[in-house]
């Protein structure tokens, strides 16, 4: 809802534990397909920049250190593998997976 986009299809990609040494927090990463732009719904003090870019620019941004957010970097690398046919999205999000060290 923050981006204003909706998707007709969501595929589970992976679950990451970004602070495994001291937290059980996890993030689920999904591949959204069939995007449609709609109205953004931000909270009063929330801000978010949304832009589109060719996938090659995203990869280059990671390689140059311009994109450093860990969930974004992992999503970009997963998408690179999916687009090349080397990996595929797993499909359904697991209800509960234990952390993997």
Work out the burial of residue 13: count CB atoms within 10 Å of its CB; fewer than 13 is exposed, 13-18 middle, 19 or more buried: buried
Angstrom distance (rounded) from CA 27 to CA 29? 6
Domains of the chain and CATH, by start: 5-84 (3.90.79.10)
Q: 54 with 63: CB under 8 angstroms?
A: no
pLDDT at 101: 45
Per residue in 71-81, pLDDT (tens digit) is: 999 999 999 99
- Higher-confidence residue of 20 and 77: namely 77
Q: Alpha helix (H) ranges present in 17-54?
A: none
Angstrom distance (rounded) from CA 93 to CA 69? 22
Its pTM stands at 0.80
């Amino acid at each position: 809802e923050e981006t204003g986009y909706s998707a007709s299809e969501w595929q589970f990609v992976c679950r990451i534990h970004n602070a495994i040494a001291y937290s059980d927090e996890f993030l689920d990463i999904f591949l959204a397909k069939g995007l449609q732009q709609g109205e953004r719904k931000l909270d009063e003090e929330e801000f978010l920049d949304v832009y589109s870019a060719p996938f090659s620019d995203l990869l280059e941004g990671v390689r140059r250190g311009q994109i450093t957010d860990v969930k974004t970097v992992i999503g970009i690398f997963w998408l690179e593998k999916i687009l090349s046919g080397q990996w595929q999205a797993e499909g359904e999000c697991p209800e509960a997976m234990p952390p993997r060290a």
